[in-house]
Chain A
Amino acid sequence: MKNYDLVIVGGGPAGLAAAVSARDNGIESILIIERDKELGGILNQCIHNGFGLHTFKEELTGPEYAARFAAQVYERNIEYKLNTMVMDINDDKVVTAMNREDGMFQIQAKAVILAMGCRERSRGALNIPGYRPAGIYSAGTAQRLVNMEGFMPGKKCVILGSGDIGLIMARRMTLEGAKVEVVAELMPYSGGLKRNIVQCLDDFGIPLKLSHTVIDIEGKERVEAITIAEVGPDRKPIPGTEIRYECDTLLLSCGLLPENELSRSAGVNLSPITSGPVVNDSLETNIDGIFACGNVLHVHDLVDYVSQEATTAGKNAANYIKNGKNAEAKEVKIYPEGGVRYTVPATIRPSEMDDTLTVRFRVADVYKNHAICTYFDNELISKRKRPVMAPGEMEQVILTKAKLAEYPELDRITITLEEA
Chain B
Amino acid sequence: MMYDVAIIGAGVIGSAIARELSKYDVKCCVIEREEDVCCGTSKANSAIIHAGFDAKPGTLKAKLNVRGNEMMDQLSKDLDIPFKRNGSLVVCTKNQDPAGLEELLEKAKANGVPRCRILDRDELIAMEPNLSDDVVAALHAPTGAIVCPFHMTMAFAENAFENGVEFFLNTNVEKIEKAECGYRIITNKETFETKVVVNAAGVYSDEFNNQVSDRKLQIIARKGEYMLLDKQAGCHVNQTIFQLPSKMGKGVLVSPTVHGNLLVGPTAADIENKEGTDTTQKYLDSLGPLSALSVKNVPLRQVITSFAGLRAHEVDGDFVIGEAEDAPGFFNAAGIESPGLSSAPAIGEYLGDMIAEKLALVKKENFKATRKGILNPEHLTMEERNALIKENPAYGNIICRCEMISEGEILDAIHRPLGARSLDGVKRRTRAGMGRCQAGFCSPRTMEILAREVPMEMNEITKNGGKSTYIVGTNKNI
Is the A/B pair a real complex?
Answer: yes
Q: Are A103 and B468 in contact (CB under 8 A)?
A: no
Contacts of B440 in A (CB 8 A): 119-120, 122, 137-138, 140-141
Closest 4 CB pairs between A and B?
A: A124-B305, A122-B438, A134-B463, A100-B393
The residue that A119 contacts in the complex, of B390, B437, B444, B468, with Cβ under 8 A, is B437
Interface size of A in residues (CB-CB distance below 8 Å): 53
Q: Are A149 and B444 in contact (CB under 8 A)?
A: yes
- Contact flags B430-472 to A (C-beta < 8 A → 1, else 0): 0000001111110110000000000000110011111111111
Check: A59 CB closer than 8 A to any chain B CB.
no
Contacts of B210 in A (CB 8 A): none
Q: Are B478 and A103 in contact (CB under 8 A)?
A: no
Alpha-carbon separation in the docked complex, A173 to B21 (Å): 52
Q: Are B472 and A150 in contact (CB under 8 A)?
A: no
Surface stretch bound by B, among A70-78, A152-160, A281-289, A399-407? A152-160
* Nearest CB in chain A to that of B302: its residue: A125
- Contact flags A212-245 to B (C-beta < 8 A → 1, else 0): 0001110011100000000000000100000000
Contacts of B95 in A (CB 8 A): none
Q: Which of B394, B437, B458, B466 has the most CB of A within 10 A?
A: B437
A interface: dominant SS: mixed
- Contact flags B276-295 to A (C-beta < 8 A → 1, else 0): 01111100100000000000
Alpha-carbon separation in the docked complex, A138 to B433 (Å): 13
Contacts of B385 in A (CB 8 A): 98, 103-104
16 further A-B pairs in the complex, CB-CB below 8 A; given A141-B439, A152-B474: A87-B404, A100-B389, A100-B393, A100-B396, A100-B397, A101-B396, A119-B436, A122-B440, A123-B305, A123-B438, A125-B305, A152-B475, A153-B471, A177-B477, A177-B478, A222-B468
Can you sample 5 A-B contacts with CB below 8 Å? A104-B389, A125-B436, A145-B444, A151-B473, A220-B277
Q: Are A248 and B472 in contact (CB under 8 A)?
A: yes
Check: A146 CB closer than 8 A to any chain B CB.
yes
Distance in angstroms from B406 CB to nearest chain A CB is: 8
Contacts of A130 in B (CB 8 A): 278-279
The residue that A129 contacts in the complex, of B284, B303, B470, with Cβ under 8 A, is B284
- Contact flags B349-361 to A (C-beta < 8 A → 1, else 0): 0000000000000
Q: Are A122 and B304 in contact (CB under 8 A)?
A: yes
Q: Are B398 and A120 in contact (CB under 8 A)?
A: no
Distance in angstroms from B438 CB to nearest chain A CB is: 4
Check: B476 CB closer than 8 A to any chain A CB.
yes
Check: A382 CB closer than 8 A to any chain B CB.
no
Distance in angstroms from B269 CB to nearest chain A CB is: 13
Q: Are B393 and A101 in contact (CB under 8 A)?
A: yes
Alpha-carbon separation in the docked complex, A103 to B470 (Å): 33
Q: Are B463 and A133 in contact (CB under 8 A)?
A: yes
Contacts of A83 in B (CB 8 A): 397
Check: A176 CB closer than 8 A to any chain B CB.
yes
Check: B382 CB closer than 8 A to any chain A CB.
yes
- Contact flags A189-219 to B (C-beta < 8 A → 1, else 0): 0000000000000000000000000011100
Q: Are B444 and A141 in contact (CB under 8 A)?
A: yes
Check: A99 CB closer than 8 A to any chain B CB.
yes
Interface size of B in residues (CB-CB distance below 8 Å): 55
Check: B27 CB closer than 8 A to any chain A CB.
no
Q: Are B397 and A99 in contact (CB under 8 A)?
A: yes
Q: Are A153 and B472 in contact (CB under 8 A)?
A: yes
Chain B 378-428 residues near chain A, CB threshold 8 A: 382, 385-386, 389-390, 393-394, 396-398, 401-402, 404
Alpha-carbon separation in the docked complex, A264 to B279 (Å): 32
Q: Are A85 and B404 in contact (CB under 8 A)?
A: yes
Check: A127 CB closer than 8 A to any chain B CB.
yes
Alpha-carbon separation in the docked complex, A250 to B385 (Å): 40
Say whether, besides A104-B389, A129-B278, A146 and B475 are in contact (CB < 8 Å): yes
Check: B307 CB closer than 8 A to any chain A CB.
yes
Q: Are B389 and A153 in contact (CB under 8 A)?
A: no
Q: Are B398 and A133 in contact (CB under 8 A)?
A: no
Contacts of B468 in A (CB 8 A): 133-134, 221-222
Q: Are B303 and A124 in contact (CB under 8 A)?
A: yes
The residue that B394 contacts in the complex, of A100, A102, A140, A237, with Cβ under 8 A, is A100
Q: Are B478 and A134 in contact (CB under 8 A)?
A: no
Contacts of B437 in A (CB 8 A): 119-120, 122, 138
Distance in angstroms from B97 CB to nearest chain A CB is: 34
Q: Are A85 and B466 in contact (CB under 8 A)?
A: no
Contacts of A124 in B (CB 8 A): 228, 303-306, 438
Alpha-carbon separation in the docked complex, A20 to B172 (Å): 60
Q: Are A222 and B476 in contact (CB under 8 A)?
A: no
Q: Are A141 and B396 in contact (CB under 8 A)?
A: no
Contacts of A215 in B (CB 8 A): 281
Contacts of B394 in A (CB 8 A): 100
Check: B190 CB closer than 8 A to any chain A CB.
no
Contacts of A85 in B (CB 8 A): 398, 401, 404
The residue that B478 contacts in the complex, of A35, A119, A176, with Cβ under 8 A, is A176
- Contact flags B141-166 to A (C-beta < 8 A → 1, else 0): 00000000000000000000000000
Check: B275 CB closer than 8 A to any chain A CB.
yes
Chain A 103-142 residues near chain B, CB threshold 8 A: 103-104, 106, 119-120, 122-125, 127, 129-135, 137-138, 140-141
Alpha-carbon separation in the docked complex, A221 to B444 (Å): 18
Alpha-carbon separation in the docked complex, A176 to B471 (Å): 13
